[in-house]
């Protein structure tokens, strides 16, 4: 007798199929929810540079290029304008103090000197004439005074005689009064003459004093003008090497024009051009070093020129000890200029990554060494070799420091 076999609802094959589907869906869902969805890029390890973050001594400095210049330079400028008449010494010649270098010609100045000399001569004549007139007037007044004194004595005797005769009734009262009036007139006339003489002498002395003062001023002005004539001859103010002489016979030079310079060869200093970015950090007293002939020499900033031209400013530096032997004017030096003191810090070697990230993030290599991932950081000071790390990195970690230009916005680099 046949028996009906009931078909199972969940045969093993079906169960296995459903289980496989559920497992696949679970894996997909887990990947979607918990999986690494960051963008990745495969890179070859031999094509990148990996550097280790270290904690070490750090000093901020900048490399600059300096030029050897004389310890002192004296510039030759035109004081009194004119055309170049004679050149006594050629360029690049050693000169001694007060040596004549060149002479200028100035016709207008010569005419001015002649005119002022004529004025002085005329004023001297006026002074002599006034003194002569004063002396003549003094003699005339003296003669008049003598005459009045003589007349006064005569009138006095006549008055005394008239008084005696009047008392004896030998002359009339009218005759006595006439003699008395003439005597009184003589006295008053003498007093008036003396007063006139005193006032006239005072006036003449004042006039002479004024003339003398004017003459003194005119002579001083003439002396100054003649000094301007002396300025037409350009002389060496110091001993040294005459350089950069810019002069040709017949060339017109106006006051203030630079003719050249004299370099004092007693010693040397260093002048350097620095980017204006560092103008607030470079100050007097900063130290610098440079290698020369296998020896490290030290410099110190002695002067900072705050004028900025073409994005750069200048500093003067002096040798801390004696000048290195063998240096020459115009020679260039590669100087390490210190901007701070030596101190301990977390350091990251410099590299091409900075151009892409601006120092805001880097690719940090995982401990496994199989990949590197983005991490935000904060950098501080720097020198040509390292950056100071303020946040985001610890000593011992490794960072990709080569260029990031070909990585775009990739989050993770798989190292092959």
Query: CA 304, 305, 311, 312 torsion: positive or negative?
Result: negative
3-state helix, strand, coil in the chain (%, to 5): 35, 35, 30
**pLDDT of 122-172, one tens digit each?**
777 777 777 777 777 777 777 777 777 777 787 777 777 777 777 777 777
- Alpha-carbon gap, residue 78 to 83, rounded angstroms: 11
Average pLDDT over residues 373-383: 89
- Alpha-carbon gap, residue 120 to 108, rounded angstroms: 18
- Residue-range domain boundaries for the chain: 37-56+343-415, 108-228, 264-338
Q: Is the pLDDT of residue 9 over 60?
A: no
Q: Is the pLDDT of residue 1 over 50?
A: no
Q: What is the pTM of this model?
A: 0.53
**pLDDT of 216-233, one tens digit each?**
777 777 777 777 778 888
Q: Which pLDDT score is estimated for 33?
A: 47
Retrieve residue 87's tokens: 């050149």
Spelled out in words, what is the top-level CATH class assigned to the domain 264-338? Answer: mainly beta
Q: What is the rounded average pLDDT for all residues in the chain?
A: 82
Compute φ and ψ for 152, nearest 5 degrees. Answer: -65, -40
CATH node for 37-56+343-415:
2.40.420.20
**pLDDT of 63-73, one tens digit each?**
999 999 888 88
Nearest Cα neighbor of 216 from 333, 150, 124, 94 is 124
Query: Does the fold of domain 264-338 match that of domain 37-56+343-415?
Result: no
Other C-beta atoms within 10 Å of 157: how many?
A: 12
């Amino acid at each position: 007798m046949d028996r009906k076999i009931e078909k199972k609802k969940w045969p093993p094959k079906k169960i296995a199929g459903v289980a496989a589907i559920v497992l696949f869906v679970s894996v997909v869902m887990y990947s979607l929810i918990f999986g690494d969805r960051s963008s990745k890029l495969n890179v070859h390890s031999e094509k990148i540079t990996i550097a280790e973050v270290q904690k070490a001594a750090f000093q901020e400095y900048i490399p600059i290029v300096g030029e050897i210049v004389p310890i002192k330079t004296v510039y030759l400028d035109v004081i009194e304008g004119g055309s170049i008449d004679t050149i006594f010494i050629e360029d690049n010649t050693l000169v001694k103090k007060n040596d004549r270098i060149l002479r200028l010609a100035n016709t207008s100045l010569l005419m001015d000197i002649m005119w002022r000399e004529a004025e002085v001569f005329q004023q001297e004549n006026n002074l002599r004439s006034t003194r002569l007139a004063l002396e003549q007037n003094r003699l005339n007044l003296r003669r008049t005074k003598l005459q009045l004194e003589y007349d006064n004595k005569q009138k006095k005797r006549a008055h005394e005689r008239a008084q005696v005769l009047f008392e004896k009734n030998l002359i009339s009262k009218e005759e006595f009064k006439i003699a008395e009036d003439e005597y009184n007139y003589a006295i008053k006339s003498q007093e008036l003459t003396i007063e006139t003489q005193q006032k006239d002498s005072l006036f003449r002395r004042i006039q002479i004093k004024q003339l003398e003062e004017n003459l003194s001023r005119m002579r001083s002005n003439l002396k100054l003008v003649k000094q301007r004539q002396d300025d037409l001859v350009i002389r060496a103010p110091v001993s040294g090497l005459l350089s950069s002489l810019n002069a040709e016979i017949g060339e017109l030079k106006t006051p203030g024009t630079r003719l050249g310079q004299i370099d004092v060869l007693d010693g040397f200093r260093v002048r350097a051009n620095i980017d204006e970015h560092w103008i607030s950090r470079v100050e007097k007293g900063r130290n610098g070093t440079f290698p020369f002939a296998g020896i490290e020499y030290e410099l110190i900033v002695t002067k900072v020129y705050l004028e900025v031209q073409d994005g750069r400013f200048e500093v003067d530096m002096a040798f801390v000890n004696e000048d290195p032997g063998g240096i020459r004017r115009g020679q260039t030096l590669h100087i390490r200029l210190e901007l701070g003191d030596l101190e301990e810090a977390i350091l990251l070697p410099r590299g091409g990554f900075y151009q892409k990230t601006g120092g805001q993030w880097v690719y940090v290599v995982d401990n496994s060494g199989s990949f590197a991932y983005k991490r935000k950081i904060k950098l501080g000071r720097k020198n040509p070799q390292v950056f100071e790390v303020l946040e985001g990195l610890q000593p011992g970690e490794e960072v990709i420091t080569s260029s990031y230009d070909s990585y775009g916005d990739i989050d993770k680099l798989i190292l092959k």
